[in-house]
Chain A
Amino acid sequence: EVQLVESGGGLVQPGGSLRLSCAASGFSFNTYWMNWLRQAPGKGLEWVANIRHDGYEKYYVDSVKGRFTISRDNAKNSLYLQMNNLRAEDTAIYYCAGQVVLATTKWYFDLWGRGTLVTVSS
């Protein structure tokens, strides 16, 4: 069974740090681009970052550049998101998602976890 399970969320004060993890199973993790997306309470979806299957390309949404770092460990079938200098507006459910790439502009998020909640508040 294909599964993505996020963990590491919680309550953190503004300016604090948190590291999210995503454990993958049931598919060839090391062949997938992987992503972090988030959803603020009652709001829509926002893509946060992604990483190439071998870890050598990484991209971020402008609002997290310099604060968040995406990484992966293919030997452990795991994806990570290190979040530093957290702000109230980072409060959201964070999802990891696997990306199927058919062509440069023909791709989609095929595999999703259930998410982990990050709350940034004093």
Chain B
Amino acid sequence: EAGVVQSPRYKIIEKKQPVAFWCNPISGHNTLYWYLQNLGQGPELLIRYENEEAVDDSQLPKDRFSAERLKGVDSTLKIQPAELGDSAVYLCASSTEFGELFFGEGSRLTVL
């Protein structure tokens, strides 16, 4: 069974540029999460989807971050414009059972 797939694996951009990350969850997993992980810290939840509905986006900085999950499968996380402080790893996860999340390898963003 394929795991959670994320792309790109690495991205380097200059500040003020836009960037997008893509996530393909495990087939059949209705719940999808985007997490942010800064160096030396644990992951922090940005947004959670149940099918195509964002049910928890309280931690998503909506002035520059946006996310969508069309058709309740793949999801895209966008940052526009990127700032230096956005440099981090962006993790996508999916689940079908409470508490048991399957994470992708993450997308490492460097903003110069």
Q: Do A and B bind each other?
A: no
Which positions in B face A, CB cutoff 8 Å?
A: none
A-side residues, CB < 8 A to B, are: none
